[in-house]
Amino acid sequence: MTPPLLQVRDLTVEFATRRGVLRALDRVSFDIGRGEVLGVVGESGAGKSVTGSAVIGLIDRPGRIAGGEILLDGRRIDNLPPEEMRKVRGKRIGMIFQDPLTSLNPLYRIGDQLVETIRTHTDLSASAARRRAIDLLAEVGIPAPEKRIDGYPHQFSGGMRQRVVIALALSAEPELIIADEPTTALDVSVQAQIITVLKRLCRDHGTAVMLVTHDMGVIAETADRVAVMYAGRVIEIGNVADVVQNPLHPYAKGLMGAIPTLTGQERRLAQIPGSMPRLSAIPPGCPFNPRCPHAYAPCPTIRPDLTNYDRHPVACHLYDPAYAPEGVAA
């Protein structure tokens, strides 16, 4: 059997600061299959962006991968020398960031940027690379691509720029794209267009996507599976319908209830007391226990691990028969 495209095993990322070592990711594990869209959600400080940066090898000092491993196609990539990693990045793993203006060079025509990327990763001639760049721009829905290819980034609107960035990420036909808040800076109607483009292209090209966002609506419409993060850990992971409609972890339940929707009837939103702990003060045991309405004996001391008790993996003692013989709390 072939291994999943991406395997992340017990990934731990630490940042050394003057006030001590902060653990941004704490034994994070997940897989992404070929052509699969994995949504990674959480609130600010949950560690979603750090996870994306770690996979693509962009953790800079003072941060470092302190433990665990990342495997692409069964081969470790977290310990590759920088030169080797450069070849993986862009060629096998593409990246889309939140702000398209920062990922495009304002001084170069977008065509030059596309051609450069294509020629770095393939052995196409300059003219063939240009033809491919025009095809890519057409594919992401940019009108008159043979003209727009000679434009500069500032001549494009926000939505059009993000399309260029998607074209850039797809230019070397990567197997995996990491999209970090790709639609957060855009208006809703443009956001809908970008989601559609991203979904269609990844389906057509068989590209897997790790979609990092705080917007559960985007995840619900786009992802196949979703991982919910809290305080540097994955606390629940499963099919998007399961996690959105029947979340298991008390934090995931609170989070889904807190989101106002276009269809719900409830007058008050569910409310989780308190806020995400700082990295310097993550509670021992389950990091959610001080805010959890169901916390009991083992929660403040024993760390729950991601375990598949019932429907899908969750890191919560409430579902562990060893601690809670009476079963699942409401």
144 contributes a contact to other proteins by CB under 8 A: no
How far apart are the C-alpha atoms of 91 and 68, rounded to whole Å?
A: 24
Q: Between 125 and 263, name the residue whose CB sits nearer to other proteins.
A: 263
Q: How many residues touch other proteins (CB under 8 A)?
A: 49
Q: Between 27 and 161, name the residue whose CB sits nearer to other proteins.
A: 161
99 contributes a contact to other proteins by CB under 8 A: no
Q: Between 221 and 320, name the residue whose CB sits nearer to other proteins.
A: 221
159 contributes a contact to other proteins by CB under 8 A: yes
Among residues 40, 56, 240, 286, the one that binds other proteins under rule CB under 8 A: 240
Among residues 20, 81, 106, 143, the one that binds other proteins under rule CB under 8 A: 143
Strand order in the sheet with 63-72: 20-32, 6-17, 63-72, 75-76
Q: Between 52 and 145, name the residue whose CB sits nearer to other proteins.
A: 145
**In this structure, what DSSP letter does residue 172 have?**
T
Burial profile 268-282: b = 16 or more Cβ within 10 angstroms, e = fewer:
eeeebeeebbebeeb
How far apart are the C-alpha atoms of 102 and 97, rounded to whole Å?
A: 8
218 contributes a contact to other proteins by CB under 8 A: yes
Q: Nearest approach, Cβ of 217 to other proteins (angstroms)?
A: 3
Identify the bridge partners of residue 71 per DSSP, sorted by sequence position.
7, 76
Q: Between 77 and 256, name the residue whose CB sits nearer to other proteins.
A: 256
294 contributes a contact to other proteins by CB under 8 A: no
Helical H segments across the chain, by residue range = 48-55, 82-91, 100-103, 110-121, 126-139, 145-148, 158-170, 188-205, 216-222, 240-245, 250-258
Give Cα separations from 256 to 166, 229, 250 (angstroms). 29, 13, 10
Residue 8 DSSP SS3: strand
DSSP element (H, E) containing 281: none
Q: Nearest approach, Cβ of 196 to other proteins (angstroms)?
A: 4
Phi, psi for residue 61 in degrees, rounded to 5: -60, 145
Q: Between 105 and 196, name the residue whose CB sits nearer to other proteins.
A: 196
Q: Nearest approach, Cβ of 66 to other proteins (angstroms)?
A: 26
Query: DSSP labels for 13-43?
Result: EEEEETTEEEEEEEEEEEEE-TT-EEEEE--
Among residues 200, 204, 280, 327, the one that binds other proteins under rule CB under 8 A: 200
Q: Which parts of 248-287 interact with other proteins (CB under 8 A)?
A: 254-263, 267-272, 275-276
The interface mask with other proteins, positions 169-188, x = CB under 8 A, is: ------------------xx
202 contributes a contact to other proteins by CB under 8 A: no
Q: Between 100 and 254, name the residue whose CB sits nearer to other proteins.
A: 254
165 contributes a contact to other proteins by CB under 8 A: no
2 contributes a contact to other proteins by CB under 8 A: no
Residue 238 DSSP SS3: strand
Place of tokens 């302190």: 66
> CB under 8 Å to 281, separation ≥6 — which residues?
none
Q: Between 43 and 112, name the residue whose CB sits nearer to other proteins.
A: 43
How far apart are the C-alpha atoms of 224 and 272, rounded to whole Å?
A: 27
Q: Between 125 and 189, name the residue whose CB sits nearer to other proteins.
A: 189
Q: Which parts of 24-53 interact with other proteins (CB under 8 A)?
A: 43-44
Binding region for other proteins (CB under 8 A): 43-44, 138, 141, 143, 157, 159-160, 187-193, 195-197, 200, 214-218, 220-222, 240-241, 244-245, 254-263, 267-272, 275-276
